[in-house]
Structure 1
Amino acid sequence: MNATPQLSIVVPVFDEEGNIAALVQEIVAALRGRLVFEIVIVDDASRDGTAAILAALKAQVPELRPLRHARNAGQSAAIHTGVRAARAAWIATLDGDGQNDPADLPGLLAARDAAAPDVKLFAGWRVQRRDTASKRWASKLANGIRRRMLRDDTPDTGCGIKLFERAVFLALPRFDHMHRYLPALFQREGWKTVSVPVNHRPRGAGVSKYGNLQRAWVGLADLRGVAWLIRRNRRADVEEI
């Protein structure tokens, strides 16, 4: 691709050989002909056939730019790698398991185009979750605690489909699992965020890489850290003399 893309879709993947080809084709179907885009998929050192599938897809899909970590670094690191490599000013993210629907991307773009210029993040909101009952319950509890602690007025920060401005993201403090707290972090920088209802689907193949207890344990530590970042933040309006 020679033209500078108007949108970069960043997808972190780890052991998603059963989902990635269909996801790429769905992204192409949702966006080709609407705008110039690129698909930056970051393989976080998968142990299955994900890398081979991406290599084959690259020959078929000119918009695709697959990258690969030499060792597993986690989802937030993979997203950061993709955003840093992206060429567009705006980024859309999707999870690699196929549960996010690429058909929602035009809706997020429409919400951006209709919003005020100080809205820099459009977060997907899974109104009807397609997960197990235990996972839905754990997510509801975690979201309630997070909203009370961070006051980010966001019903669903765990949804992988988001649209945001690249420059703002790259200016955020970087830490593991930061992708779960993007609304609060964007608001910390003085920007507004909006939640947009999106579709949610059952996982097509493979298994989740996180258990409920693992999410809860890590989430408690992260919440305290993000709350500290918000309390310690000092911003100053600047004017030219």
Structure 2
Amino acid sequence: MSYEFTIIVPVYNEEENLERVEKELSDYIAKSTKKTKVLFVNDGSKDNSQKLIELICQRSPDFSYLLFEENRGLSAAIKAGFDFADTELVGYIDSDLQTAPDDFNLLLEEIEEFDLVTGVRADRKDSFVKNMSSTIANSIRRAFTHDGMDDTGCPLKVIKTDYAKRIPMFKGLHRFLPAMILLQNGKIKQVPVRHFPRMAGTAKFGLWNRLLGPLMDCFAYLWMKKKYINYSVAKRG
């Protein structure tokens, strides 16, 4: 049976988490409702992440990786995953595992009727400052995009790959994936998922790139929306 679903795992200096990532994703693959494989995208890590990733991939054919020459950021890592995905469906999860791989099945239940299904982190286990900055950023983003999504920063998403590959990604646009699917006249849905505290490693985002950065990205999105080319062919001879 050929693979149906690729899970992208962006990695940047996450050596402390990768053993748990391997275990939890291996456990999920065994119970996934789709034939699933994992694609690590190492975003130029400076620690031992790459060595650990290669060992994981040697142990299982369900795991593979891309290694960037240098750090390019989360949006670039996700874009690379989209570019190299060869399955009908693609998703992603952060390597800190603050969301559960098992909850991909909740999203997969809905994906047949939609083109993107995103998680909404219920009962978030983050700090007050992190939660508040995310709430404000999401409110600002919704005012710009009108996508109706409550938590586009949730690192648990499933997308039909043909839609994902048409997203014109730029730095910061990973926060606008639902809106970019809407630009393609696609359908989107959000589903509550579990959320957990970070168990190891350090967060890669602070107040600037959780609040002020996304505000600037909203203007980039508006420019993209104005310039975006979308068409449908009525007839071909």
Give TM-score, length-normalised by structure 2. 0.94
Structure 1: unaligned runs, 5 residues or longer: none
* Cα root mean square deviation, aligned: 1.5
Corresponding residue for 2:168?
Answer: 173
Q: How many Å separate the matches in 2 of 1:174 and 1:225?
A: 11
Answer yes or no: is 1:4 the counterpart of 2:2.
yes
Alignment match, 1:23: 21
Residue 150 (str. 1) matches residue 145 (str. 2): yes
Q: Percent identity over the alignment?
A: 30
CA distance in 2, matches of 1:173, 1:36: 28
Alpha-carbon distance between aligned partners in 2 of 1:111 and 1:165, rounded to the nearest angstrom = 11
Amino acid of the structure 1 residue aligned with 2:208: L
Decide which of 187, 191, 207 is 1:192's aligned counterpart: 187
C-alpha offsets along residues 207-228 of structure 1, whole Å, 9 cap, x if unaligned? 1111112332221211011123
Q: State the Cα distance separating 1:4 from its structure 2 match.
A: 2.9
Aligned pair count reads: 235
Native 8 Å contact 1:31 1:106 kept in 2: no
Q: Tell me which of 191, 213, 216 is aligned to 1:218.
A: 213
Q: CA deviation at 1:232?
A: 4.1
Kindly state the Cα deviation for residue 97 of structure 1 after the two structures are TM-superposed. Answer: 1.2
What is aligned with 1:160? 155
Measured at CA, do residues 58 and 232 of structure 1 come closer, stay the same or move farther in structure 2, by a change above 3 Å? closer
Residue 211 of structure 1 aligns with an amino acid whose one-letter code is: G
Matches within 5 A, 1:61-140: 61-113=60-112, 115=113, 119-140=114-135
DSSP 3-state at the match of 1:32:
helix
- Write the distance in 2 (CA, Å) between the matches of 1:105 and 1:54: 22
Which amino acid counterpart does residue 92 of structure 1 have in structure 2?
Answer: G
Q: In the alignment, is the contact (CA less than 8 A) between 1:89 and 1:167 conserved in 2?
A: yes
Task: Compute the displacement of 1:66 (Å).
Answer: 1.7
Structure-1 residue corresponding to 2:11: 13
Code of the residue aligned with 1:93 in structure 2: it is Y
Q: Conserved in 1, the CA contact under 8 Å of 2:10 and 2:95?
A: yes
Q: CA deviation at 1:27?
A: 1.5
AA of the residue aligned to 1:85: F
Instruction: Give the C-alpha shift of residue 126 in structure 1.
Output: 0.5
- The CA distance in 2 between the partners of 1:235 and 1:45, in whole Å, is 34
**Could you tell me whether the CA contact under 8 Å between 1:30 and 1:106 is conserved in 2?**
no
8 Å contact kept, 1:4–1:87: no
Please state whether the residue corresponding to 1:80 is helix, strand or coil: helix
The one-letter code matched in structure 2 to 1:202 is P
TM-score where L is the length of structure 1 = 0.92
SS where residue 9 of structure 2 aligns?
strand
Gaps of 5+ in 2: none
Tell me, yes or no, if structure 1 residue 202 matches structure 2 residue 197.
yes
Amino acid in the other structure paired with 2:12? F
Would the alpha carbon gap of residues 203 and 190 (structure 1) be closer, same or farther in structure 2, given more than 3 Å must change? same
> Alignment partner of 2:163: what SS?
helix
Which residue identity lines up with residue 127 of structure 2 in the other structure? T
Partners of 1:234 and 1:112 in 2: CA distance: 25
Asked whether 1:42 is paired with 2:29, we answer no
Q: Which amino acid aligns with 1:80?
A: K
Q: Could you tell me which residue of structure 2 aligns to residue 239 of structure 1?
A: 234
